C-alpha cells in the first residue's frame, strides 16, 4: 500500500478508533495498489535496484557525451555497468535529465554483442528519516481507486458514491455510480494524473 490505513480512514471521515471496517478498507487499499501499479506499468513505486540491458546501437552519442534512456524513473544513482562497480559522481561525471535520461561524459565499456547492462536505483524512498518521498497525488489516486473497490453496501453506509473529484481548477469525472464501469473508463478518468507516473520503454 502507498497510503496507510489511518490516512484512508481520515480520507473517508472514519473515526480512527473505529476498527470495525479495517479489514475491508485494507483489502480495498491492497487491491487499489495492485491496480495502480498495473495502470502505470510498474512493479512498485517503492525505491529499488533495477538491472537493464541497453542496446548500444540505439544510443545517441557524439564526441562529447552519451545519451541513454532507462525505463524506471526517477533515476537516483547508478551502481554497476556490465557487472563492474560504477563509482563516478552524479552531476560531475554523469547527469540525469527528465528523470530517466542519463548523459555520460564518457562511457568506456567493451561489449561483444553491442549491449551493456546497467544496474541503478530508481523510484521513491519510503524509509526516509524525515519524510516519505512518495508523491501525495499517488497516494490520493490509490485512495480514490480504493473507494471504488469497496462493496456497494459499505459505500452506502459511508455515503461515498463518488461521481467526480475536483482539485483546484481540474475536475475528474468517474461515473462510478454505474455498475458496468470498465477498467478502460477508469484509466481514462485518471489519465492526466497517471501520465506523469506511467512507465514505458523508449524506442529509438
What's the predicted TM-score (pTM) here?
A: 0.72
Q: Is 150 helix (H, G, I), strand (E, B) or coil?
A: coil
pLDDT of residue 162: 53
Dihedral (Cα; 7, 74, 33, 159), 10-degree rounding? 40
Question: What distance, in Å, lies between the first and last C-alpha atoms of the chain?
Answer: 34
Residue-wise pLDDT for 128-181, tens only, equals 778 889 999 899 889 988 988 888 888 888 877 555 555 445 555 544 444 455
pLDDT digits (tens, 9 = 90+) for 31-68: 999 999 988 888 899 999 999 988 877 666 665 678 88
Q: What pLDDT score was predicted for residue 199?
A: 75
Higher pLDDT residue, 118 or 173?
A: 118
Res 194 pLDDT > 80: no
CB 163 within 8 A of CB 175: yes
Write out the three cell numbers for 155: 459505500
Q: What local confidence, expressed as pLDDT, does residue 175 receive?
A: 45
Nearest to 194 by CA among 183, 181, 180, 178: 183
How far is 102 from 2, CA to CA, in rounded Å?
28
Amino acid at each position: 500500500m502507498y497510503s496507510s490505513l489511518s490516512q484512508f480512514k481520515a480520507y473517508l471521515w472514519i473515526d480512527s478508533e473505529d476498527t470495525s471496517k479495517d479489514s475491508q478498507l485494507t483489502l480495498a487499499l491492497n487491491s487499489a495498489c495492485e491496480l495502480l501499479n498495473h495502470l502505470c506499468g510498474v512493479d512498485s513505486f517503492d525505491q529499488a535496484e533495477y538491472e537493464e540491458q541497453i542496446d548500444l546501437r540505439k544510443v545517441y552519442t557524439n564526441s562529447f557525451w552519451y545519451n541513454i534512456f532507462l525505463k524506471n524513473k526517477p533515476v537516483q544513482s547508478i551502481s554497476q555497468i556490465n557487472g563492474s562497480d560504477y563509482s563516478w559522481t552524479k552531476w560531475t561525471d554523469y547527469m540525469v535529465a527528465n528523470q530517466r535520461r542519463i548523459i555520460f561524459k564518457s562511457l568506456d565499456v567493451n561489449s561483444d554483442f553491442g549491449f551493456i547492462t546497467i544496474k541503478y536505483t530508481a523510484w521513491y524512498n519510503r524509509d526516509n528519516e524525515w519524510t516519505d518521498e512518495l508523491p501525495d497525488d499517488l497516494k490520493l489516486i490509490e485512495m480514490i481507486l480504493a473507494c471504488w473497490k469497496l462493496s456497494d453496501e459499505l459505500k452506502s453506509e459511508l455515503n461515498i458514491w463518488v461521481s467526480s473529484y475536483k482539485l483546484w481548477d481540474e475536475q475528474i469525472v468517474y461515473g462510478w455510480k454505474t455498475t458496468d464501469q470498465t477498467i478502460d473508463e477508469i484509466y481514462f478518468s485518471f489519465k492526466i494524473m497517471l501520465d506523469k507516473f506511467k512507465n514505458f520503454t523508449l524506442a529509438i
